[in-house]
Structure 1
């Protein structure tokens, strides 16, 4: 903590280090109050550098001794660096002995204690909290690690790589020695010392090698690890089959810890996970939890190659590993889903996340490119832009070169760069070079603007049909609004997957003029790489309905001017499931925006209601797809379409839409509820999960309608379902139905839920989330959330618990947060200040809830700015929070 904002680090200033560290031997004498760390490093001068002083990063640690080639050497501590002004000439051995205090490390960055054990989190800059080092991703070393600790308290001692030795020591202590043969940056270092048990599985890869997989958890949680292990096995098999990337260590370990700032961390061979993404069984985890575990386990395993074997040259290249690996875990999850409909549901969910999180970021005060140009606190750039938009950039590459071409590009990428720290440009060049005749190779210099420019492009499409010539001309034009620090926006390369339908919904053959007849196809990809372009299709017998941006082929905002009638054609007939869902969302959005802008009560027209009934009753559509289509756009997404946002007006309009759909489709919801029940043993597979994904929202709609009519029948059914449910998905679905309808039975259900699961931390997190996320009514949700701060089970010290209440309320419940009396903003400011004192990373993420304050209407706008200014005025703020609030005030 310190006054003033730290100096920004700029990508343009990157320079290779003056020294390299090629190998390091670490020895830990683990003690919660005072851990002693001894390091022995082989240091080389960078032949292309200027030498000079050796500056090693260090933070909140105490140096005891420094030796160079076995001799004491003069050093000084200057701010956050240990400086050796006159290191020996040539290569040398550097030994440092220092201490750190894990039990005082509330930042959960570096070495810290949790639940009586030791854990680490070194990404991005946590290793410097353990020992002095060149803590930057382009310094890659081979690590040998020895851990020593009390055996009774810490019977399990783990680190990266392969176990090479273990044994007993005096005074009830023991040791374990680990060696990782692969060079890695310090951010991938990990250790664990705790009382844990493991689920183990041996697997044989295609090369015929046997490997040990382990999932380590605290005692009592072993029965919740089967799905995580199955997900890990599936990840190993998939990556070798899809990209020919095998597991490269003798063992691969996952460790679950309850106190963790992130979801998980891909440390080489020793992944440390938030318990949220490991522990699951039918009684405690929902279908969504099971899906998230599969995705996150896959993501971290896939980092073994895309992030570990090839890593980032500097933190500006973060999307090199994160965007690529998000793309890989999305592809993995779609392949695991099986059916085409389940794959489509996954794609829709990913796009919905992008739009609700990344599009606002691109339009807000913290807007930044996929490859940022500067940062103050790198922890602030673990963002939806780097991850989700970065994944879309990779997906566009695959679209431009094809699936097989992308696999060829990946192979070339590993051939060129394995074992190195490289850049986003190196990756894009590899994909293009492996596909020399592709659209990516042709447009590569322009395509790479996706890495360097912030903002979401607006794509405008207009079509003109000429009956006499039987031609249809499609005009595409792009424009990207200015973002902080970037006024000029040159055109992006935008792949537009598209088709044309007749007015009765039949696909048309597409052939551009001057193309031979055998080029005709029902879908094709247009590549827009200029500000505007025109495409003329021939042999078009009637005026078509364009279906553009199929599969969401580029992360842009599409403006195609389609009428309601045309959108309803797509909703009923589009062969692309994404655009079918999109058509339903847009018809709902049109009605919501009209009500919000006019300030009139929303009243749905018969055509829209009948279209929604058609979706609900459709004989072949996937139930989960139906749920997604029937769920109106979120309040956050509606707000993003407006220049002046009144959160209460948006909330009222959306609640009115939901209530009318509940009322007008009552008989259809009853049909959906009755016909989508799941019998037999629980499974999180796509078929069962899909049925529950429609049955539970149907119950919610029936409760909402019944409560509005003063009928307690469906409330009683929901309460009974809550009590009798054999799995958490149905139990939580019934509880949400009571909460969302503001039923009088909600409170006793909440109490029963808490009593039943009071000893399960992850389920109690759900208990807090449900209450903080409930639709606001007369200020009740905000009042409940504020009161929950004093609940005995609430604590700011645990990131999961703090997120479950504070981040849910401030970031995911606009109507409860944005109050005319400004109480929500006061709540926000107080929590940010409190969190910043103990965990700046978490505090800065909560602070992001007001990134878009400048778009608010009055009185919200002035009150929000006042709250931000209050936080910014604090003398003692972390770099993490000060960067967020300072940039917010500059907007």
Structure 2
């Protein structure tokens, strides 16, 4: 077993020993090595009672060539190097530190720090990648002004980029050239960026609200220039929105985005030089689906919004990661809601929360939005920090209202501009601006787990008083068994017997109740009959809510609720209840409740509804969500019941689905706007139900759509329907045609890989193993890994959880391999095995055995060790 790595605790935080006023860097890029010359102007932090030693971080792979203080070269006795820590033993209060290191980016498969792939140099420094570049006080509370010179062979690397504004450039006689960049805004090292490659770009200009012109450039390989316009338009919309909604202008003369195919993350908000995974910036109707278009828009916005919520105001330490990520996810979600359908965006976000983040809360890696400890910070770029963190910000917005929230955000930015701060500083600003006491609310940052609300009601006909009693609790998590009550905003409405909203507090039809106690009762007076409650409108808090709705009441809410989210949620509750009943009875008594058919028919034929909303309502709960709701997951029963219901609905509503499919066709040119996305989403949902009937006529319909589609949304939808149908030969034919058509488009090939990895037909694991030998697969490319291994293990549940444990063995093999190549990817692949407690005893034993095999496989990275050790330590 690996030696246990050190645990880092929030409670042990100390301010840095030295600040860095100015950082000057020079990169000399060669094919076999890179020489990094750093000059740091530093001064001792006087807030410490006793002087602390100057400590720098640097990865073990770096070769230290020179270390000098104020011009004097240090001898080996004057410093110590142990692991990642370089300690200078005797340093003055003010100094200029010179460091020269030698690194090998071409051999850096971790994709952290400076690495080279596809002939391009690129950086990823968040969270601790900068320590793979040079020795530095690599922590987010050390902010410095950076000046960076990049030098390389001009013919190979004509484009040399870094943070800030370009201030000088030149050429050398040996065919090399250089560019110097200056970033006038102090930043932590994690926001440093460098790119060198043979790239081309598109450009545009944005004029800020104060009239200042900003140059906009998006870089990519020449072959991808036709896929950059949508990202540019998204960027300009984001800049306008941030000025209008938050009053935040961009601050540099130039804003740049670079598309990179080898990237661990989605994108990175480096000051002035955002580096993006190609999947989050390239978009063209022929190669990009509607969902991918929306992802590009959302990620471009997210990274741009970080310029203030993350860059100008940054984190004091990595425990505060949600300070920037949760706040910025909330901001990008609001932007996307304004650009598209607000209700559909909310549905998509809550679906992710309920399926994946709630599972994280219930697993061995459960942690608060502000963790109290970690071994490897890369493991905490989680749904809890991002999505639940955004929900915490959303709850503050709900409690304060938009005007006071804006007042609070203005105060936060003005008070802390250029500083590294904490989540408490953010909440303090909201309190000070609004006058609201949020002291209890802070528990959302310090307590892990998903709160559960039990709601009961009663109506007194004699007095006309309707009462709701709400009890809150939160299951224990590995870090804390007993939780104190949360401050939970519960938004609700009451519907009368005709389905109309009753007026509540102040005449509003939605009221937000403040839940602060373990049990509270709320009274509503003057009612003539018992209402139907519409609870947790808009999903006003990330909680599990239990109220004993009858199926008829759910049908009533589906038909009448004015809250679009709750209308959808009623349909989900109805379907879930029916599915759970059938799973419990499986394999006998397989009979579908006719009320679900009738409800779906009413929705499908209601032309007044938004097609996007109809598509969401008619999408059955996923197998993953049903698994998350189960105490013990019955893999086979969940799969078979969901397939049974799909076919029964398709059979009962065949004519309606066919009519919907035909009526939502169009001859107009593709547009990724909300109305057209809605039309395609409903059309392709109808096609999926029709193909489920295993009727050759509908197979032919899907094949025709595949052949005739003028956009990737329709072509990929048809591809998936045919490949996942029982028409095996037809599936092989469309796969071959699709690959032949798109084999030179890497992102499209990822879709081709994923549709095969998610195919549940027998032999899936063997097909996945074969795909990993295909020319299109590259173990060093995270996008390829996610398209095959992650899709199989997270979406193809029937085959991953095969009773013989072969799926578990396969995943463990990949984790062991990636532990050596790319620890971040290895750690993220592990997630399905961490959920072992959700399964039957036989599968539990098999999953724990594979976790044990990983633990005993040799020297583990901190990333993998932390996840495996916590998973094996999980006990009742």
What is the TM-score of this pair, normalised by structure 2?
0.98
Matched, 1:278 2:313: no
What aligned pairs does 1:275-674 form with structure 2 within 5 A after superposition?
A: 275-337=278-340, 342-436=341-435, 441-442=436-437, 444-511=438-505, 519-601=506-588, 602-674=590-662
CA distance in 2: counterparts of 1:835 and 1:503, whole angstroms: 59
Question: Unaligned 5+ residue runs, structure 2?
Answer: none
Contact 1:700 1:741 in 2 (8 A): no
CA contact (8 A) 1:35 1:100 kept: yes
Map 1:150-161 to 2 at 5 A: 150-161=153-164
Partner of 2:835: 852
Residue in structure 2 matched with residue 753 of structure 1 by the alignment: 738
Distance 1:409 1:32 in 2: 50
Deviations 1:182-229 (A, max 9, x none): 000000000001010111001111100001000000111100000010
Give CA-to-partner distance per residue, 1:778-824, whole Å, 9 cap, x none.
Answer: x2323322221221211211000011000111122211211111110
Q: Work out the CA distance in 1 between the residues paired with 2:30 and 2:266.
A: 26
Match of 1:106 in 2: 109
Q: Secondary structure at the match of 2:440?
A: helix
SS of alignment partner, residue 667 of structure 2: coil
Partners of 2:232 and 2:691 lie apart in 1 by: 38
Task: Identify the residue that residue 516 of structure 1 maps to in structure 2.
Answer: none
SS in 2 for 1:203: strand
The secondary structure found in structure 1 opposite 2:513 is: strand
SS at match of 1:445: coil
Verify the 8 A CA contact 2:587 2:637 in the aligned structure 1: no
What SS does the aligned partner of 2:737 have? Answer: helix
The answer on 1:91 being equivalent to 2:76 is: no
| SS of the residue 1:256 aligns to | strand
Q: Distance in 2 between matches of 1:790 and 1:145?
A: 41
Does the 8 Å CA contact 1:216/1:254 hold for their aligned counterparts? yes
Q: Is the 8 A contact 1:52 1:85 kept in 2?
A: no
CA displacement at 1:644 relative to structure 2: 1.1
Partner of 2:7: 8
Aligned counterpart, 1:733: 717
**Secondary structure of 1:221's aligned partner:** helix
Structure 2 counterpart of 1:64? 65
Shift of 1:765: 0.5
Three-state SS of the structure 2 residue aligned to 1:805 is: helix
Q: Matched residue of 1:862: which SS?
A: helix
Q: Does residue 828 in structure 1 map to residue 811 in structure 2?
A: yes
- Hey, what does 1:138 align to over in structure 2? 141
Q: How does 1:172-211 map to 2 (within 5 A)?
A: 172-211=175-214
After the TM superposition, which of the residue ranges 585-594 and 496-505 deviates more from structure 2? 496-505
Match status 1:814 vs 2:808? no
Q: Secondary structure at the match of 2:778?
A: coil
Matched, 1:871 2:854: yes
Q: Quote how far apart the aligned CAs of 1:597 are.
A: 2.0
Mapped pair 1:884 → 2:867:
yes
Would the aligned equivalents of 1:225 and 1:278 in 2 still touch at CA under 8 Å?
Answer: yes
Please point out which of 233, 253, 268 is paired with 2:236: 233
How far residue 604 of structure 1 moved from its aligned partner, in angstroms, is 1.1
**Whole-Å separation in 2 of the counterparts to 1:423 and 1:367:** 21
1:787 and 1:850 map into 2 onto residues whose CA distance is 22
1:65 and 1:846 map into 2 onto residues whose CA distance is: 39
Aligned-pair distance for 1:641?
Answer: 1.5
Contact 1:704-1:740 at 8 Å conserved across structures: no
**Counterpart selection for 2:844 from 832, 838, 861:** 861
2:788 aligned counterpart, secondary structure? helix
Of stretches 136-145 and 587-596 in structure 1, the one that deviates more from structure 2 is 587-596
Give CA deviations for 1:262-304 in whole Å, capped at 9, x if unaligned: 0000000000000001111011000000000000000000000
CA distance in 2, matches of 1:888, 1:861: 12
Deviation digits for residues 212-253 of structure 1 (CA, Å, limit 9, x no counterpart): 000000111100000010001111111011101001000000
> CA contact under 8 A between 2:122 and 2:194: conserved in structure 1?
yes
* Structure 1 residue 52: Cα displacement: 3.9
Q: Which segments of structure 1 move beyond 6 Å, counting only runs of 4 or more?
A: none
Deviations 1:684-709 (A, max 9, x none): 1011110000111111111111x1xx
Structure 1 residues not aligned, in runs of 5+: 512-518
Give the Cα separation in 2 of the matches to 1:649 and 1:824. 18
Could you tell me whether the CA contact under 8 Å between 1:52 and 1:86 is conserved in 2? no
Q: How many Å separate the matches in 1 of 2:790 and 2:80?
A: 41
Question: Which range is displaced more, 588-597 or 204-213?
Answer: 588-597
Separation in 2, partners of 1:887, 1:503: 51
Structure 2 CA distance for aligned equivalents of residues 178 and 209 of structure 1: 20
- The answer on whether the counterparts of 1:106 and 1:838 sit within 8 Å (CA) in structure 2 is yes
Superimposed CA distance per residue, residues 641-684 of structure 1 (whole angstroms, 9 cap, x where no aligned partner): 12111211111111111111111111111011001113211111
Q: Which moved more, 1:785-794 or 1:537-546?
A: 785-794
Query: What SS class does the counterpart of residue 273 from structure 1 fall into?
Result: strand
Match in the other structure for 2:80: 76
Partner of 1:514: none
Deviation per residue, 1:598-630 (Å, 9 max, x gap)? 334532111111001111111211111111111
Measured against aligned partners, the alpha-carbon deviations of 1:397-452 in whole angstroms (never above 9, x if no partner) come to 0000001111100000011100000000100110111001xxxx23x111000000
Q: Is the 8 A contact 1:142 1:182 kept in 2?
A: yes
Q: Can you list the C-alpha shifts for 1:56-91, whole angstroms capped at 9, x where unaligned? A: 10002110011111111232321112221111x221
1:118 is aligned to 2:101: no
Aligned residues: 867
Contact 1:510-1:538 at 8 Å conserved across structures: no
The root-mean-square deviation of aligned C-alpha atoms, in Å, is 1.0
Deviation sequence 1:545-582 (CA, Å, 0-9, x none) = 00010000000000011111111110100000000000
Residues 11-61 of structure 1: per-residue CA shift (max 9 Å, x gap): 111011111112110001011321000001011101012324311100021
Q: Is the 8 A contact 1:58 1:80 kept in 2?
A: yes
